[in-house]
Every structure is written in structure tokens, then in C-alpha cells.
Copies of this chain bind each other. A is one copy, B any other.
Amino acid sequence: MRILVTNDDGIAAPGIRALVEVAREFGEVVVVAPDSPQSAQGHAITISEPIRLHQVEVIPGVETYECTGTPVDCVKLAKHVVLKDQQIDLCLSGINHGSNASINIIYSGTMSAAMEASIEGIPSIGFSLLDYSWDADFEPAKTVVRQVIRKVLEHGINGCNLLNVNIPKIPEAEIKGIRICRQAEANWKEDFMEAKDPRGQKYYWLTGEFVKSDVAPDTDLWALDNGYVSVVPSGHDLTVHQAIAGLKKLENNF
């Protein structure tokens, strides 16, 4: 089995090493990841400038490449350049340093990379640990990753090609289990820090607080708050199908 591993925190992040360690137990691993942190890059791709790709010896014994592009670029480069359109059986993205539950899936480079692979027909799983620290303890997360991959290989993820897996920041013994959930509604209550640079020019820096407005028991936020690993089957169809009929009144003929 050929497994592509990527992330958005960059090739040097501890989270991707933890993911590679587990992935190697299941098959041949190829890593293509950004050469620097690319958090919150969403589904950005690089179309207006060239991308550099270099093979590096960062993870011993694993074929590894870094590139100057976004997480989604990494998946495209992996498929078309590094693997020359050979089959990829599974794409794993992460382990992200920080939550990608709820609305965060929209902003996340980690989840966008996994989604890009899923659009290409590759079963994909994004893993995130609810700990933004670079020194986060990934040992409990590794156990979760191993269990999720085992179960996916055993049962398949038919009807869905992409899983958004978030792991609570609690000791392994306190993790209650895995829950299949829907994405909770939420938003970021944001503001901008306003300051002046050394030349006296004003700048703004995004700051914000995550606001949970929906913690029903079938949501990922509820699962994570209650000691469960959340797994949300996810896709790329943004159509609000239930709104179509009601909007037919907007139709007209010119």
C-alpha cells in the first residue's frame, strides 16, 4: 500500500513525524510537505509563480520532499511529479498542531490538502490534535491514528472519501473512544491588533477567539469536549441542496 503523508505545519513539525511513524506500519510512505509553516492557507494553490521541490533527508528511511508551495500544492506535486501518477492508496495529513474541528476545516491547510487528495479519488484522512504547542505530546494521538487507520482499512469509508479526525488534548487513558459526528456550526470572534512598525507605519495583525454556538451531541465539538475523538465524514460539495427549491423564485428568463 502506498501512503502519501503531508501537513500544513511544515516538514520540520513534530506532528508530521508522529504521523509518519504510524503510517510506516501500514505501507510504503512518501512525504511531500511545505518547507515552512502554512497554517490557515485553506485551499490556496500557487498559480502565479513557480514552485521549488527538493528531496530532503529529514525523516530517516522515508522518501521525503519539501516544497515552497501550499499544502494543496504538495498533494498536486506528489501525485503528478514525485509519483508520476502512480496509484496512491491513502493520503494522511497532519498531525496538525491545533484543532481543525467545526468551521476550522474551511481555513485549514491540513484539511485542504486531504480534501485535494480526496477530490483526486484518494481516500484521505486529516488528523489534528487539540494542542497548538510545538512541543505537544503526540503519543496519545499516535494510538488514535493507528486505530483509525486500522478501522478504515477494515471497514472502508464508502460513501465518503475524506475524514476529518480531531483528537482531544487529554491523557490516552482518558480518551473514551471514537465518535462519527457532523461539523458543528461556530465562528471566530475576531479583531485586529493595531500597531506601528519601526518606520512608524501602521499595521494590523489578526487575532480572534473561537465561539462555539452549536454543541449538540451529534457534533464534533461535543465529542471533543466530552473526551471522544471526533470523526466527521467530509466532502467538497458546498451546495445547500435544501435551499434549491425555495430559491426557484429567483429564476427568470431574460
Chain A residues within CB distance 8 Å of chain B: 37, 39-53, 70, 72-73, 76-77, 80-81, 103, 105-107, 112, 115, 119-120, 143, 147-148, 151-152, 155, 157-160, 162, 164, 172, 175-183, 185, 187, 190-192, 194-195, 197, 201-206, 231-244, 246-254
Contact = CB atoms under 8 A, between A and B. Distances in A.
A233 B247 contact: yes
A202 B42 CA distance: 27
B103 A250 contact: no
Contact of A106 (B50, B53, B148, B238): B238
B252 A147 contact: yes
Contact of A231 (B41, B112, B247): B247
Contact of A234 (B179, B231, B239): B239
B177 A236 contact: no
A-B pairs, 6 with minimum CB distance: A42-B43, A50-B203, A160-B243, A177-B253, A42-B42, A233-B243
Contacts of A192: 51, 76-77, 80-81
Nearest to A148: B250
B81 A204 contact: yes
A11 B5 CA distance: 38
A246 B40 CA distance: 31
A250 B178 contact: yes
Contacts of A50: 195, 197, 203-205
Contacts of A180: 244, 247-248, 250-251
Q: A-side binding surface: helix, strand, loop or mixed?
A: mixed
B247 A46 contact: no
Contacts of A120: 187
Contact of A43 (B43, B47, B159): B43
A183 B239 contact: yes
A206 B51 contact: yes
A154 to B, nearest CB: 9
Contacts of A204: 50-53, 77, 81
A235 B240 contact: yes
Contacts of A176: 253-254
A190 B160 contact: no
A190 to B, nearest CB: 6
Contacts of A143: 254
Contacts of A40: 44-47
